[in-house]
Amino acid sequence: MLKNRHVTGWLQAAPLSLILAGFLILPIATIVTVSFWQATEFSIIPAFSMENYAFLFGSDVTYRVFLATFKYAAITWALTLLIGFTVAYYLAFHIRSQTVQIALFLLCTIPFWTSNIIRMISWIPFLGRNGIANSTLIDLGLIDAPLEWLLYSDFSVILAFVHLYTLFMVVPIFNTMMRIDRSLIEAAYDNGASGWQTLMHVIVPLTKPGIMIGTIFVLTLIMGDFITVRFMSGSQKANVGRLISNDISLLQYPSAAATAVVLLCTVLIVIGILLRFVDIRKEL
C-alpha cells in the first residue's frame, strides 16, 4: 500500500489537510450557514432567512463602504506597484555585488517580520497635530497652521497601507526579475534600444507574473483589512472589514457573517480574474 504514491502523498499531507479543514473550510462553512440565521438582541437563532442579505443589499451604507474599500485598494495598489517595481528594479539590475544585493533585499524585508500594530503606532509622532511633519512645515514657513488631515484621515490610512504592504510587491517582483535572462537585455541594447525602451518592452513584460502575485497580496490584504483603517483613521473612516468587526462587537453575528460572505465572494472574484494572468505553481 505504501508503494502507492497517492496513499503516501495523502498520508504526508494529512496534518496539513486536517488543519486546513478544521480552521479554514469549517469556519467558512459556519460563516455561510450563520449568514442565513436570524438575530435578536440577546441571541442568534438558527433559521433559513435571507433577511441579512436583504438588509445588506438594501442599505446605502453597504455600497458606500464597498466603494471606499475599492478606493483604498486601487490607490494603494498603484502606489505600492510604482514604489515596489522601482525598488525591485534597482536591486535586481543596478546592484552588481551579490552580497550587497542580499543585504539590501533583507533590509527591505525585515520590517515584514516585525509588528504591524507598532509600525502603525510609530506614525503618530510623525503625523500628529504637533508632530514632526507639521512642525517642520511650519518652521519652513510653508504653512501657517498645522495641517489637520495628516493623521486620522484617508491620507494616513493609505500612507500606512503603503508603508505596511509595499514589500509584498518588492519581493515577488524582485524574484521574477532575478530570473530574467540577462542576455535578453544585452540583446535589446545591441539592437539599439534605449534604457527606457528596454525597461518598457523587455523587463516589464517579463516581470508580469511577479507583478500579478504582488497585486494579489496587496489587494487581498487591503480588502480584508479592518485594523489599519480603524487605527489610522481614528475610527472615522469605514471599510468592509470594519463593517464586519463592528457587527461582531455588537454580537450581531448573522449580519457580520452575511457581510463576510459578500466580502469573501468579492475577494475570490478579484483573485479569480488575476489568476488568469499568472500560473502561481510555475512561479515558485
Partner 1 sequence: MEKRSRSFYVLTAFFALFILFLYGPTLTIGVLSFQGPQGGLTFPMNGVSLHWFRDLFEEQAVGDIWGAFRRSLALGLMVMVTTVVVSVMGGLAFRKRFAGSGALFYLIIASLVIPSILISLGVGLIFNQFGLRVHWATSGFGSQLTWTLPFGLLIMFAVFNRFDRSYEEAARDQGASAWQTIRFVVLPIIAPSLIGVALFGFTLSYDEFARTLLTSGSYNTLPLEIFGMTTNVTTPVIYALGTLTTLFSFLIIGAFIVTVWGLGKRRARLGSDAGKGL
CA dist., res. 147 & res. 138, Å (int): 10
Distance in Å, CB of 206 to partner 1, minimum: 19
Contact, 35 vs 53, CB < 8 A? Answer: yes
Q: What are phi and psi for residue 38, nearest 5 degrees?
A: -115, 155
Select 31 or 68, whichever has its Cβ closest to partner 1: 31
Candidate residues 47, 100, 195, 277; the one interacting with partner 1 per rule CB under 8 A: 195
Q: Which three cell numbers stand for residue 50?
A: 435571507
Distance in Å, CB of 177 to partner 1, minimum: 13
Q: Which three cell numbers stand for residue 132?
A: 514632526
x/- map, 85-124, partner 1, by CB under 8 A: -xx-xxx--x-x-------x-xxx-xx-xxxxxxx-xxxx
Distance in Å, CB of 34 to partner 1, minimum: 6
Distance in Å, CB of 27 to partner 1, minimum: 2
Using CB under 8 A as the binding criterion, the count of chain residues that bind partner 1 stands at: 82
Contact, 255 vs 55, CB < 8 A? Answer: yes
Select 11 or 143, whichever has its Cβ closest to partner 1: 11
Candidate residues 1, 15, 58, 141; the one interacting with partner 1 per rule CB under 8 A: 15
Residues 44-83 that bind partner 1 (CB under 8 A): 83
- Buried/exposed 73-94: b ≥16 CB within 10 Å, e otherwise: bebbbebbbeebbebbbebbbe
Candidate residues 75, 178, 206, 248; the one interacting with partner 1 per rule CB under 8 A: 248
Is there binding between residue 269 and partner 1 (CB under 8 A)? no
Select 75 or 128, whichever has its Cβ closest to partner 1: 128
CA dist., res. 159 & res. 163, Å (int): 6
Is there binding between residue 234 and partner 1 (CB under 8 A)? no
Is there binding between residue 273 and partner 1 (CB under 8 A)? no
Is there binding between residue 26 and partner 1 (CB under 8 A)? yes
Q: Which three-class secondary structure state does DSSP give residue 123?
A: coil
How do the residues of the chain divide into helix, strand and coil, expressed in percent and rounded to 5?
75, 0, 25
> How long a stretch of residues is the chain?
284
